[in-house]
Amino acid sequence: MRVFIDGKETEFPGGATYRDLIKSYSVLGVSVGGRTLSLNARPEPGAQAHALTYFDEEGRRIYERTLQFVLLAAAHRVIPGRRVRIEHSFGEALFIRLPKTTVTRQLVAKIEQEMRSIVERDLPIPLTESSKAEANRYFEETNQGDKLRLLRYRNFEKFRFYELCGLKEYFYGEMAPSTGYVRVFQLRMYLPGLLMRTPHAKDPTRVAPFRDLPKLMKTFGETGRWNGILGCENAADINEMIERRSFREFIRVNEALHERSIERIADEFLKSGARVILIAGPSSSGKTTFAHRLQIALKVLGLRPMKLSLDDYYRDRKDIPLGEDGRPDLERLDTLDVPLLDEHLVKLLQGEAVEAPIFDFPKGMRSDRTQTLRAAADQPIVIEGIHGLNDQLTESVPRELKFKIYISALTMLNLDDHNRIRTTDARLLRRIVRDYQFRGTSPEETMAMWPSVRRGEESYIFPFQEEADAMFNSALAYELPIMKKYVYPVLQAVKPESPHYTLARRLVKFLNYIRTADVEDEIPINSILREFIGGSCFYREQD
């Protein structure tokens, strides 16, 4: 029998697995059609497979899941019975808390030593199937109440367990076949928990360099504290609020916290003495709605903010370099006429009038028309766009006149203690809903563009986030039960033969555990979420 791996024909005997055919430990899984398969899977005759490495998104996810399982197995041996909570990404690392356990350098070193022992032995990670009842018994016996509560919302009777060192776990995706595949890692104490550092994205043979992100960590910490106060750490907490009919109040509190944060940022700007407000963040963070709400908060303080649209400073589409996908790369800084923007800002700050361009998006070029703009001496200028934190955008404006704001949807809600909901996945759901409803873009088209969007974020946004004077977390702990109604049916419609099937199924899998809440009448018309589901007061036609 024959199979094709990255176009190369390979003969294989009956009963062989992909692991039998691919001996390299740098290959973590395979992609066949739209599906991601474990190396333990058996090839079908004539299959066209792509070997997944750490350079592939799905390969990195396999590596991370496997490494998480190794960490959990090591912690189970070093601190048996203690709670371990995998919380969020931290650059090229994961932040992990050990609630009610005193974290010391010695403890972190012991866990890392045990992890390395598990990896060196190259232990198999078998996948077994059990019933939901059997899974419930296991989680009850091992005091994993978070998983017991979550399983109430699982509609399937069959359950898949991965096993390692006497520990059973479930993860939402494939794993490496054995522990020897995840040799590159390092633990680091980072109070109030620890960091599990992962391979460098461009050189997976070494651990990614450590980069401290204190402002981002503070923002995550504030959100985590509020979630703890509100009793909302895992998906089951949200589902139980819906059942108790207390979800409407939860929405009100979430929105009040957003409003309080925006007012605080407006106060900080007023005290700073700056003139230019620069708002930047990754895709689907809600930058536009945030900018509108911030301007209202500034008006309450007696200011008269003026918005300058970066979209109008785009160069003609024909002059924009192409990206890896052959399309114009709209994420680059030089897609904007930076010299003209810089010149206009300098003049506006000195009270001069400028003739600002108007970009004609249907034609993909600058219009012949312009708009006259002038800023008073006490008038803040608000600029929103992905390059806002990059000083090259506003090179001639002194730093003390700039107030930089970083906004992102930093999701802190987990499915359970060991299965986090990624911030990037939550933002992708927002974008799928918005693009499908208001831009006529299918979910598959949005998913096809997503890798290019993510590359732009890694290059042009994340390197500058710690330069922000303020950070705003636009995630709403209540949003997934609202979004599910819009996104779940269109994700389920993605066919198995689609190249985006694995991504669609991964999103569907975690949404399976989220209950739908039909309470949209409770969501304010100025909510960040309205930017994606519709009904925002900021997008209505002017009377």
Q: How far is CA 309 from CA 383, 434, 453, in A?
A: 6, 21, 20
Backbone region of residue 419 per phi and psi (left: phi > 0; alpha: psi in -120 to 50; beta: other values): beta
Give the model's pLDDT for residue 373.
94
Give the model's pLDDT for residue 258.
96
Task: Please report which helix (H) or strand (E) contains residue 215, including its range.
Answer: helix 214-229
Please say whether the beta carbons of 276 and 307 come within 8 A: no
Give the model's pLDDT for residue 11.
87
416, β-bridge pairs: 419
Give the model's pLDDT for residue 542.
45
pTM of the shown model: 0.92
Give the model's pLDDT for residue 12.
83
Q: From start to end of 377-448, where are the E strands?
A: 381-384, 402-408, 414-416, 419-420
Please say whether the beta carbons of 275 and 349 come within 8 A: yes
CA distance 528 to 477: 12
158, β-bridge pairs: 131
Q: How far is CA 503 from CA 34, 55, 285, in A?
A: 9, 16, 20
Distance of CA 220 to the CA centre of its chain: 13
CA distance 375 to 356: 13
pLDDT in tens, the chain (543 residues): 788 999 999 888 888 999 999 989 999 999 998 889 999 999 998 999 999 999 999 999 999 999 999 999 999 999 999 999 999 999 999 999 999 999 999 999 999 999 999 999 999 999 999 998 999 999 999 999 999 999 888 888 888 899 999 999 988 889 999 999 999 999 999 999 999 999 999 999 999 999 999 999 999 999 988 888 888 999 999 999 999 999 999 999 999 999 999 999 999 999 999 999 999 999 999 999 999 999 999 999 999 999 998 889 988 888 887 777 677 777 788 889 999 999 999 999 999 999 999 988 888 889 999 999 999 988 999 999 888 899 999 999 999 999 999 999 999 899 999 999 999 999 999 999 999 999 889 999 999 999 988 988 998 999 999 999 999 999 999 999 999 999 999 999 999 889 999 999 999 999 999 999 999 999 999 999 999 999 999 986 443
CA distance 466 to 296: 26
Domains assigned to the chain? 2-53 (3.10.20), 62-205 (3.30.980.10), 216-305+380-538 (no CATH)
HSE at residue 163, side-chain half, CA atoms within 13 A, is: 9
Give the model's pLDDT for residue 27.
97
Cis peptide before 451 (omega within 30 of 0): no
- Structure letter (DSSP) for residue 207: B
Closest CA to 452 of 364, 326, 335: 326
Q: How many CB atoms lie within 10 A of CB 147?
A: 22
Give the model's pLDDT for residue 321.
77
Helix 247-272 crosses helix 235-244 at what angle (to 10 degrees)? 120
SS3 state at 106: helix
DSSP string, 287-301: HHHHHHHHHHHHHHT
